[in-house]
Structure 1
Amino acid sequence: MNPTPTDTTADTVIAPARLPRQVPYIIGNEACERFSFYGMRNILVQFLVSSVILAYVPAGDREGAAKDIFHSFVIGVYFFPLLGGWLSDRFFGKYNTVFWFSLVYCAGHACLALFESDRTGFYTGLFLIALGSGGIKPLVVSFVGDQFTTSNKHLAKVVFDAFYWTINFGSFFASLLMPLFLRSYGPAVAFGIPGVLMLVATVIFWSGRRQYVRVPPATNDPHSFLNVARTALTSTQGEGRPGLYVAAFGGALAVAMLMCWAIGPAFWPEDFGFVITACLALGVLIACGGFGTSLQLERARGRHPDATVDSVRAVLRILIVFALTTPFWSLFDQKASTWVLQGKDMVVPHDQWWWPSFLVKEASQMQALNPALVMLIIPFNNLVLYPALRRMGFEPTALRRMGTGIVFAGVAWIAAGVLQLWMDGGQQVSLAWQIAPYLLLTFGEVLVSATALEFAYSQATQSMKGVIMAFWYLTSTFGSLWVLLTNAGVRNDTVTAHIATTGLSENAFLMFFFAAFAFAAAIGFAWYARRYPMQDNYLREGAAA
C-alpha cells in the first residue's frame, strides 16, 4: 500500500522538511482561475460604459452606473465566501466545495460570452461568477494551509507568498491582454478566453485529487462557533442578559432596514438599493451579534470545552482586525473603476520613446501594473526589506505590516487626487503619472493582503478556518459598500453643494476623502493591534486524515 500524503515514517522524521507535492496543483489552479477572474473583472467597467447593456441610462450617467454595477458585483464576489465556507466546514469539505463551485464559475463565464447584448443573460453571468468565485475564495487558501503540519509549517509562509505571487502572475497577463482583445475582437472573445482558462483551472485542480490532504468537515459539531455563541446568548446564568439584548437589537434593526427598503422611498433613501440595504443589515447583524456574544461568552463554559470557548473569543478578536481593514478595500477595488475612468481623461504618451505603444494602448491596461509590481515587491520585501528591518531591531509582524499597508493606500489616493487637481486645472496629464499611485497602492496591498492570507489561517482554530477565511473576504464586501454609499451620497444635492464650497471637483474631493478614510482606519488599526494576542493554529504532525 502506498503511503498517503500524511503518513509519517522514521525516514521522514529525520529528513529535511519538504514542500508537499500536491501544492503545485493548487497553485496552478489558482493562477488560471485568477487570470479568468481578473480577465473579465478588469474590462467590466470599460465594457459597460459603451455597451447596450446600459443603453437605458443617459449617456452622462453611464460611468456612475457602470461603477455601481462593478462594485455590486464585487460585493457579491466577497459575500458568497460565507456560503462556501459554511458548506465546506459543515457538509462537503474543502475539495468538494471548490470543485462544484468551480463548475458554477465556468457557467457564469459562458453566460458573459454568449449574452453580451442581453441584459438578463449578462447579469445572470455576473451572478454565477460572483457565486462561483466567492464560493471557492475562502477555501483555496485554507486548503493550501491544510497541506502543512507543524513539521514543515516554516515553509507555509514561502508558499503563501508564492501563492499570492502566482495570483498576480495570472492577473498581470489578464489585465494587459484582455483590454486589447476587447478592443480588437469584441466582448464575446474577451469574455470567452477567461472562461476557457477557468475550465483549465478546474481540470488542474481535479487532477491532484488523489494527493490532497483532506480535513473532514465538522458535521453536526456541537461546539461550533454558532452553537457556542447561541449558548452564551441564551444562558440565564449571571446577572441580566445584556449580550442577548444587544444581539436582539441588531437582529431587529437589520429586519427593519430590509422592511423599510421593501416599502419604498417614503421610509428609506431612494439611492439605497437592495445591495446596499442588505450589506448594511449584514453589518449590523455581525457587529451586534459579535459584541453581544463577547459580553456573555464566559457563560458558555461548562457546556462547551474551555478550548472551544477560547477559540470563539479568538474569532471575535479577529473580526475586529478584519473590520478595521475594510477601508483599505474601499480604496483598492476602485483602481478598476475610479482610476480607469480617471485614466480615460489622461493622455497616453505614445510620443515618448520609452512608452510601450505597441502593447499599452489605453488606460484600463494600467491595471497590469498592480500584479507586475506585486511580483517584484514580494521578493524584495522578503529578501531585502524585512531582513534589513530585523537587523535594525524592528520585527515586521503581520499586524504591523497590515497597518502600514493601510497608510500606503491612503498616500496612493493623495497622489491620485493631486493628478486630478492637475487635470481639473486644465493640464493635459500623461497616463504615465498613474504609475506613482499604482506603486504606492500595490506596496500597501502586499503588506495588507498577502500578509492577511497567512494571518487569517494561523489565527483560526481548525474547525473554523473556512468560516474565518470567509469573514476575511467579507472585508472586501464592506469595502465596496463604503464606495456605493459614497456614490449614493454625492447624488444628494446637499452633499454636492458642500463639495462645491471646497473649490474641488467631485472627483478630487472624493479621492482626498478616501485617503482620509484610510488614515483614520490606520490609526484605529494601530491602537487595536497593540492589544491583540497572537495565536498559532497550524495542524499538529499527524493530525490530518
Structure 2
Amino acid sequence: MADKEQGKEQKTKSKECCGYPLSIFFIVVNEFCERFSYYGMRTVLVLYFRYFLRWDDDLATTIYHTFVALCYLTPILGAIIADSWLGKFKTIVYLSIVYTIGQAVMAVSAIHDITDENHDGTPDNMTLHVALSMVGLLLIAFGTGGIKPCVAAFGGDQFEDHQEKQRSTFFSIFYLSINAGSLLSTVITPILRAQECGINSQQKCYPLAFGVPAALMAVALLVFILGSSMYVKAAPKGNIMLEVCKCIGFAIKNRFKHRSSSYPKREHWMDWAEEKYDKLLIAQVKMVVKVLFLYIPLPMFWALFDQQGSRWTLQATTMNGNFGFFTVQPDQMQTVNPILILAMVPVVDNLIYPLIKKCGLNFTPLKKMTAGMFLAALAFVAAALVQIQIDQTLPSFPSASEAQVKLLNLENSTLSISLNGQSEEIPAFQSYGYTTLNTDKMELSFGNQSQSYDLLKGDRQTLLLTATRVEAWSEDSNTKPEQGSNDIRFVNGYGSELNVKSGSKNIGNVGRFKFSNYTQFPEGTTTFIISGLAAGELCQYSINLGFGSSYTLFIPSTFKFGNECASTIKQIEDIKPNTIHMAWQIPQYFLMTCGEVVFSVTGLEFSYSQAPKNMKSVLQAGWLLTTAMGNIIVLIVAEVGQLPEQWAEYVLFASLLLCVCIIFSGMAHYYTYIDPSEIEEQFSEYDPDDKNRKQLEMNTDAVHASDNEKTNPNEIKQTKI
C-alpha cells in the first residue's frame, strides 16, 4: 500500500522554472520565516525572563537553556513521526501549527496590561504570565524541533535524480535563508523590544518582540501550505534510527544473555546481533557507533557556545552600547556571531587551511575540532576578563547589615555637620555621600544641635538638610537600572510646588522639600519641562544620559524661571553610568565564532564522511543531541556551582572545556579514519530474499537527512542548526 501511495504521489511533479522545481520557492521562504521566528523570539527570551518575569540571572539562564535543550531533543521525535507515520509534509504542517500557537501564546504572555489592575506597569498576577510562557515555550520546542529534520530533506525530495546540480544549489540557497532569517531577526526583535507600549502603562514592548516572530511563523505555515499542490510527497517507509536502536539493543541483550555461557568471544560487541540482523547492517552500525563514541565529549563545547544568548546577553546589559552613529541593544550583540560566521568561513577555507597545509602540518578533522574547543575556552577567558573590568565599575551597594547615607545641602551656603562624630562640610547645594554605616542609628549634629535618626539596613537613603534640621529623606535605588535604562528623580528646594514632565512621561507635582519617584529613561538626550503655579512659568532642562545610571536633579532655592533657569539645576549622580563599552565583547564573540567554524563545520563534514550512506540521519540526531546535552550541562553548573562572582563561572566553564579538550585529543589520536563505501563493498553479496536486507534498502530512501550528503562542504558550512 505504501509503495502504491508513493508511486501515485511521485507522479505529481512540481512545475519548473529555469530547471528548478517551482515548489522549492515555497520551502525556502518557509525556512526563512521560521528561522526569523525562532531566533527572533530566542534573542530577547533571557531578557524577558529577567526583566518581565522578574527572575534572577541564574533562574533566567536555567529556563533559557532548558528550552534550548528541548529544541534539540525533539528533532529525534520529529524524525520518527515523519519517517514512520505521517511523512515529511504532514509532519511539517501539523507541527508548524503547534509552533505558531506556541509563538502566539508567548506574545500573549508578555502583555502586562492583562493583569495590571493598578495600571502601574507591574503585572499583578505573575503566575498567569509564567504559566502562559511555559506553555508557549513547550509548544515552540516541540514545533521547531519536530520540523527541524524534515524541511531540508523535504526540499531535496522535490528534485529528480538527474537534477543533482540543482539540488546542490538549492541547499546553498536554503542554508543562506537560514542565516538571513537569523541575522535579520537578531537585529530587528531587540529594536522592537526596546520600544515602549501598553494600554494603561508604558513598558518595554515584549508583546511586539514576540508578536512579530509569531506573525512570521504564521506566514511560514501559510506559504508552505500554498505550495501543497506542487510538492513531491514521499510516503513514510520506516525509520532507520529505530532500526539501528533495535540492532544495538539486541546485541547488548544477547551479549548479557550469554555472558556466563561457553559461547566463543566475538571480535566486536555488535557481532552479538548476527543471530537476527544481517552483517551489512551490523557493519554499518559499527561505523556509526564509532563516531557516536567521539561525540561523548562534544556537549561541553555547546555548553559554552549557547551562553551567547544567556550569560553574554546579560553581561551586555551592564555595558555601554553607544557606537557613535548607532546604539546597540544588549540582545543585538548576538548578531556579531552570524556576521562573523559569514565572513570567517571563506577566510578559514581559502586562507587559513591552505596556509596550514603549505606549512606541512597534518591538520586532520579531529585536530580541527580540538582547536575549536580550545578557541571556545579562550572566548570564555576573554569574557571573564571583561566581567572583571565591569565589576570594578559597579557601585558598592550596602549589605544586609549596612546602611548607606547621602546628605544633600538645601542651603545656599556651606553646611557644617557632624556625622557619627565625624565633622564634615557640605558646599552650597551639593551632596555628601554615600557613606556606609554599620549601624541602624545615625547621630547628626548641626552646630550645637544633635539628633538621632533611624536607618534602614540594606538600603541607601538620601537626607535633605537645612541649617537646623533634616527636612525629608528617601529610600534610594539599591540596584543598577535595568536593561541599560537610567533612573531620574527630582528634588524640589524651590519655594513652591513644581510640575515636571518629559514627553509622554509625567513625573508629576513635586512639593517643596520633596522627592519625586524614580522614572526610567533610555540612553540619549532627555528634555524635561518644569512648570510653576503661575501662568507662563516654564523651564526647559536637558540631560545627556548614558546606560545604567541614576541621577537626582536638584532644583535649588535660587532657581528662577527664564532663559537661564536650566543652569541653576544641580545634577547629582547616584549611580554611575556603564563605562565598559560593548565593543569589548567583540573579541570573545570572535574567538567563539572561530571555534564554531573549525568545530561545528568540521564536525558535520567528519560525521558525514565517516558514516554509511543510509545512516546520515542517525548521526544528525546524535549531533543535535550533543547540543541538547550541552545546554543541560549549563543547567547543572548554574544550579550546582552557585559561584558568587560571574567571572569565576566563566573561568570554571573555560577550565572544564580545556579538560574535555585534552580528553578529546587523546580519543582523536587513537581514532582510525575509514572509508564507509569500502567496508560496505565487503558485504555486497547477499541473499536477495533476505528480509533484513530488503528492509535496509527500503529504509535507505526514507532517511530524512540523506539528501544533505549531496551538498558540498561549503553548503554545510553556511547552516545554523
Q: Which residue of 1 aligns with 2:36?
A: 35
Q: Does 1:124 align with 2:125?
A: no
How far apart in 1 are the matches of 2:11 and 2:655?
49
Q: Which residue of 2 aligns with 1:411?
A: 378
Q: 1:236 to 1:527 in 2, by over 3 A?
A: closer
How far apart in 2 are the matches of 1:40 and 1:204?
20
Q: Which residue of 2 aligns with 1:233?
A: 252
Q: CA deviation at 1:322?
A: 2.5
How far apart in 2 are the matches of 1:470 and 1:521?
22
Q: CA deviation at 1:193?
A: 0.6
Q: CA deviation at 1:48?
A: 1.6
How far apart in 2 are the matches of 1:422 and 1:104?
44
Residue by residue over 1:67-108, the C-alpha shift from the partner in whole angstroms, topping out at 9 and shown as x without a partner, is 111111112111111211222232233333223212211111
How far apart in 2 are the matches of 1:479 and 1:490?
16
Q: Does 1:521 align with 2:532?
A: no
2:251 is matched by which residue type in structure 1? A
How far apart in 2 are the matches of 1:42 and 1:108?
16
Q: Which residue of 1 aligns with 2:184?
A: 173
Residue by residue over 1:453-481, the C-alpha shift from the partner in whole angstroms, topping out at 9 and shown as x without a partner, is 44555555465444432222121211111
Q: 1:44 to 1:387 in 2, by over 3 A?
A: same
Q: 1:424 to 1:295 in 2, by over 3 A?
A: farther
Greater mean alpha carbon deviation, residues 28-37 or residues 479-488: 28-37
Give SS of 1:346's match: coil
Taking the TM superposition and a 5 Å limit, the aligned residue runs for 1:131-146 are 131-143=142-154
Q: Does 1:309 align with 2:282?
A: yes
Residue by residue over 1:292-326, the C-alpha shift from the partner in whole angstroms, topping out at 9 and shown as x without a partner, is x9963101124211111122222222322332221
Q: 1:313 to 1:160 in 2, by over 3 A?
A: farther
**Number of residue pairs aligned between Structure 1 and Structure 2:** 459
Q: Which residue of 2 aligns with 1:296?
A: 269
Q: CA deviation at 1:421?
A: 1.9
Residue by residue over 1:359-410, the C-alpha shift from the partner in whole angstroms, topping out at 9 and shown as x without a partner, is x332211111111111222233344444444555557654444332222211
2:220 is matched by which residue type in structure 1? A
Q: Does 1:200 align with 2:219?
A: yes
2:371 is matched by which residue type in structure 1? T
CA contact (8 A) 1:88 1:466 kept: no
Q: Does 1:367 align with 2:340?
A: no
Q: CA deviation at 1:166?
A: 3.2
How far apart in 1 are the matches of 2:233 and 2:369?
30
CA contact (8 A) 1:322 1:475 kept: yes
Q: 1:234 to 1:85 in 2, by over 3 A?
A: same
Q: Which residue of 2 aligns with 1:343?
A: 316
Give ranges in structure 2 of 5+ residues lacking alignment: 1-6, 14-18, 113-128, 198-204, 395-578, 681-695, 703-721
CA contact (8 A) 1:71 1:484 kept: yes
Q: Which residue of 1 aligns with 2:507?
A: none
Taking the TM superposition and a 5 Å limit, the aligned residue runs for 1:423-438 are 423-426=390-393, 428-438=579-589
1:529 is matched by which residue type in structure 2? A
In terms of Rg, which structure is larger?
Answer: 2
Q: Which residue of 2 aligns with 1:331?
A: 304
Q: Which residue of 2 aligns with 1:183?
A: 194
Q: Which residue of 2 aligns with 1:224?
A: 243
Q: Does 1:70 align with 2:64?
A: yes
CA contact (8 A) 1:38 1:175 kept: yes
How far apart in 2 are the matches of 1:388 and 1:149?
39
Q: Does 1:93 align with 2:232?
A: no
Aligned-pair Cα RMSD in Å: 3.8
Residue by residue over 1:29-51, the C-alpha shift from the partner in whole angstroms, topping out at 9 and shown as x without a partner, is 32221111110101011112121
CA contact (8 A) 1:107 1:128 kept: yes
CA contact (8 A) 1:370 1:438 kept: yes
How far apart in 1 are the matches of 2:350 and 2:12?
31
How far apart in 1 are the matches of 2:241 and 2:40?
42
How far apart in 2 are the matches of 1:470 and 1:356?
44
Give SS of 1:189's match: helix
How far apart in 2 are the matches of 1:2 and 1:91?
17
Give SS of 2:216's match: helix
Residue by residue over 1:230-287, the C-alpha shift from the partner in whole angstroms, topping out at 9 and shown as x without a partner, is 3212326995179xxxxxxxxxxxxxxxxxxxxxxxxxxxxxxxxxxxxxxxxxxxxx
Taking the TM superposition and a 5 Å limit, the aligned residue runs for 1:44-59 are 44-51=45-52, 53-54=53-54
Greater mean alpha carbon deviation, residues 77-86 or residues 310-319: 310-319
2:652 is matched by which residue type in structure 1? F
Q: CA deviation at 1:511?
A: 0.8
How far apart in 1 are the matches of 2:601 and 2:155?
14
Taking the TM superposition and a 5 Å limit, the aligned residue runs for 1:101-116 are 101-116=95-110
Give SS of 1:224's match: helix
Between 1 and 2, higher relative CO (CA 8 Å, sep ≥ 6) is seen in: 1
How far apart in 1 are the matches of 2:596 and 2:289?
24
Q: CA deviation at 1:518?
A: 2.0
Q: 1:508 to 1:371 in 2, by over 3 A?
A: same
CA contact (8 A) 2:36 2:213 kept: yes
1:72 is matched by which residue type in structure 2? T
Q: Which residue of 2 aligns with 1:511?
A: 650
How far apart in 2 are the matches of 1:183 and 1:447?
35
How far apart in 1 are the matches of 2:369 and 2:194?
37
Q: Does 1:482 align with 2:633?
A: yes
Greater mean alpha carbon deviation, residues 314-323 or residues 510-519: 314-323
How far apart in 1 are the matches of 2:133 and 2:653?
31
Residue by residue over 1:321-369, the C-alpha shift from the partner in whole angstroms, topping out at 9 and shown as x without a partner, is 332221111001111110111111122235xxxx442xx3322111111
Q: CA deviation at 1:158?
A: 7.2
2:215 is matched by which residue type in structure 1? V
How far apart in 1 are the matches of 2:392 and 2:328?
25
Taking structure 2 as the reference length, the TM-score comes to 0.57
Q: 1:237 to 1:527 in 2, by over 3 A?
A: closer
2:593 is matched by which residue type in structure 1? T
How far apart in 2 are the matches of 1:532 and 1:70?
38
Q: CA deviation at 1:450?
A: 3.5
Structure with higher helix content:
1
How far apart in 1 are the matches of 2:674 and 2:133?
44
How far apart in 1 are the matches of 2:622 and 2:672?
18
Greater mean alpha carbon deviation, residues 206-215 or residues 175-184: 206-215
How far apart in 2 are the matches of 1:31 and 1:451?
24
Sequence identity of aligned pairs in percent? 32
1:228 is matched by which residue type in structure 2? C
Greater mean alpha carbon deviation, residues 105-114 or residues 154-163: 154-163
Structure with higher strand content:
2
Residue by residue over 1:406-426, the C-alpha shift from the partner in whole angstroms, topping out at 9 and shown as x without a partner, is 222111111111111222333
Taking structure 1 as the reference length, the TM-score comes to 0.73
How far apart in 2 are the matches of 1:142 and 1:294?
36
Q: 1:342 to 1:438 in 2, by over 3 A?
A: same
Give ranges in structure 1 of 5+ residues lacking alignment: 8-17, 243-292, 497-504
Q: 1:45 to 1:368 in 2, by over 3 A?
A: same
How far apart in 2 are the matches of 1:394 and 1:450?
20
